[in-house]
Amino acid sequence: MDLKNNLYQLWNRMASGSYFPAATRYVEIDKSDGGKRILGIPTVKDRIAQGVAKAYIEPRLEEVFHEDSYGYRPNRSAHDAIEKARKRCWKYDWVIDLDIKAFFDTIDHELLLKAVSMHVSEPWIILYIKRWLKAPMQNKDGQLIDREQGLPQGGLCEASHNPPYVK
C-alpha cells in the first residue's frame, strides 16, 4: 500500500474540489426484533476524507448540543447515559429515552444540509457532505443503489468515535 502517495492524492483532490466519494458498501445486519439494519461501509480513503471534515467541524457542533445528548458524540457512550440516568433516578420520578424509528433511513438531505449550514460556513465541507449524502450504495452483487434520502450508518460522519489518525 502506497500510503504517502494515496494521502497526497486524496489531499490534492479535496483541495481542488475534484474529490468524489466511492459508493458505500451495502451490508444488512440482523436486529433483535427480526428486522434489518442497513450499514453503508465507506472505503478507507472516504473514511479518511470524512475524518478531515469531522475534525474540522466537530468542535463547533459540540457547542450546540445539549449536555444530556449522548448519541454519536465524542467521549460519550450509552454507558455514560445510563450512569447519568442512574444518578438522576434518585432525584426525579421520570426518565425520557428517545429513539426515532428509522431516523437514519429517512432523514431529509436538504433539511440536514440546511441545519449543517447554520453552523458550517466552509463551502468545501458543505460540498463534500452533499457528495457523501448522495453517494450510491453498492450491494453484494455490485448493483448501485441511488439515495435521495437517508444516511447510511457506518460512515465516520455519524460514528461516535474519533477520526482515524495516520502515523
Give Cα 106 to chain centroid, integer Å.
14
pLDDT in tens, 29-55: 888 888 888 888 999 999 999 999 999
Q: What is the pTM of this model?
A: 0.81
How many angstroms separate the CA atoms of 9 and 116, rounded?
A: 27
CA gyration radius for the chain?
18
Low-confidence ranges of the chain (pLDDT < 70): 155-167
159: helix, coil or strand? Answer: coil
pLDDT in tens, 90-111: 898 887 777 778 888 889 999 9
pLDDT of residue 162: 35
Give Cα 127 to chain centroid, integer Å.
15
Return the C-alpha cell found at 78: 450509552
pLDDT of residue 73: 87
Residue carrying C-alpha cell 453498492:
138
How many angstroms separate the CA atoms of 106 and 115, rounded?
A: 16
